[in-house]
Amino acid sequence: SGNGPPKGHRYDLVVLANRLPVDQATDPDGQACWRRSPGGLVTALHPIMQSRAGAWIGWHGRPGAAPKPFNHDGIRLHPIELSAEEVDGYYEGQSNATIWPLYHDAVEQPVFDRRWRQAYHSVNHRFAAAAAQLAAPGALVWVHDYHLQLVPGMLRKLRPDLRIGFFLHIPFPPVELFCQLPMRDDIMRGLLGSDLVGFQHPQGTTNFARLAAHLLDAELADGVIKHESGVTAAATFPISIDVAGQQQLATEPPIRARADEIRRELGSPRTLILGVDRLDYTKGIEHRLTAYGELLADGRLDPAQTVMVQVAVPSRQRLDQYQSLRERVETTVSRINGRHAGIGKLCVHYLHQSYDREELAALYLAADVMAVTPLRDGMNLVAKEYVATRTDGTGALVLSEFAGAAAELRQAWMVNPHNLEALKDTLAEAAAADVAEQRRRMEPMRSHLRRYDVNRWAAAFLGQLGDPASPEPS
Ligand code: GDG
């Protein structure tokens, strides 16, 4: 780190996201420090931001006064202050209790609250004002995700010279669901402040264009939306992972040894079924557990030969909906173990903890069946990480039709998680597949991912936004 450029320096590339790409940590001699956060977006943008000396605007993760702007790993970081009330209203309220459930097909009832909308508006304005100050004339500005949907419109007013792109990491809902939102007009005008809006899946792109036509009488032609205040392109950019990095992890001897050790510690089962998700109601964790429990009860899976590991990373724990989900999941796990486990032989190993990439890679390597069964998911990177980790082409991916990843990982064992019988059949089939069948499905998915990694994703978006250093890939 360091003090970096003088005050008033302007940047040619500015990224905005709810969070900065660093977490507060403590170094070995007890000093507070910043550490690069794990996660795909950070990995994807880091090299581009470094080579372009870009600036990143985001929240540092705690309520109250923000640290001064600082440099970290060659990137300028500009923290945005949020008061405790704004964390409640903008982040937990409007972002995670209204927009998140609504954009995920309302699989959980969205909550509407006027006070949250005010906080969402003022925090979005703070982000836009920071970007207006930091961006060089004609700079590229890339805004990320559902927390910041008003920013493009606000920034366009402050700085009409900028090229503004917005990427939504979660699904964009159909018109009739979106129209429930009391903020619908503000959000639509906010998004249409962009030159380019990107979605994970063609469905999102279509939903957005239809909505513009429906709400604002916009004209649609050739991926471009003509509206009262200009022209916005809408296109699909499915996000990916650092495929080479993930494959590298999979070949490291300590990680391979750890995978073997995990299987031994689990009692060397014939079939290990794995789930890895944030503990979120969109991820279909309960559906997956219920299906597994019934397969044991029906005698279609043998509890002496089968183990399930469910990693449920703690998430948004202050929200009621997440607390009650946790209770339901934990009850289901206990019920399955209570009925089918033996002394020293659990059927479900439930881990409400977070793990580093190395341990996750070892779990992916150890798992015969990877169960990814969201009710709705923008993409789902866990599915892609599993495929990239299986360098020998073995392993069975069970994948929900409602994950964005289903549009690309076509050879997975595809399932509708709402259909319990289908989910049971699919899990049982995947568990019974021989190595030839596993490879027949895995190889095309692996070659797809090798071609479409996260660098290509970022270059495609920035290329279409007009970045001369990221020509659009063919
Ligand atoms: C949103 C959208 C979209 C897992 N355990 C830990 C941990 N992970 C990592 C995984 C993976 C990432 O977190 C989870 O990504 P997902 O895509 O599966 O899900 P969301 O968190 O819901 O992400 C999603 C994504 O944005 C990107 O656009 O794909 O649809 O919902 O990389 O390996 N990370 C840490 N500790 C863990 O224990 N730090």
pLDDT attached to residue 473: 60
* Cα–Cα dist 315/372, whole Å: 18
Q: Are 53 and 33 in contact (CB under 8 A)?
A: no
Question: What pLDDT, on the 0 to 100 scale, is given for residue 140?
Answer: 97
User: Strand pairing of 75-80 and 55-59?
Assistant: parallel
**CA distances (Å), origin 272, targets 147, 260, 413, 423:** 37, 12, 16, 17
DSSP 190: H
Distance of CA 19 from the midpoint of ligand 1 (Å): 14
* Helix 243-251 with 381-389: angle, nearest 10 deg: 50
169 Cβ closer than 6 Å to some ligand 1 atom: yes
Sequence letter at residue 126: R
Question: Can you give the pLDDT at residue 48?
Answer: 85
pLDDT given at position 47: 81
Q: Is the CB of 380 under 6 A from ligand 1?
A: yes
pLDDT of residue 53: 84
The per-residue pLDDT for 2 is: 55
Instruction: State in Å: Cα 256 to ligand 1 middle.
Output: 22
- The helix/strand/coil state of 64 is strand
Centroid of ligand 1 to alpha carbon of 39 (angstroms) = 7
Distance spanning both ends of the chain, measured CA to CA: 37
pLDDT, residue 107, reads: 95
**Distance (Å, rounded) from C-alpha 142 to C-alpha 458?**
10
Q: Is 186 helix (H, G, I), strand (E, B) or coil?
A: helix
Q: How far apart are CA 262 and CA 367, in angstroms?
A: 10
Which residue ranges of the chain lie beneath pLDDT 50?
Answer: 1
Instruction: Using alpha carbons, list the distances in angstroms from residue 179 to 15, 183, 184, 204.
Output: 29, 9, 6, 15
**Ligand 1 within 6 A of CB of 209:** no
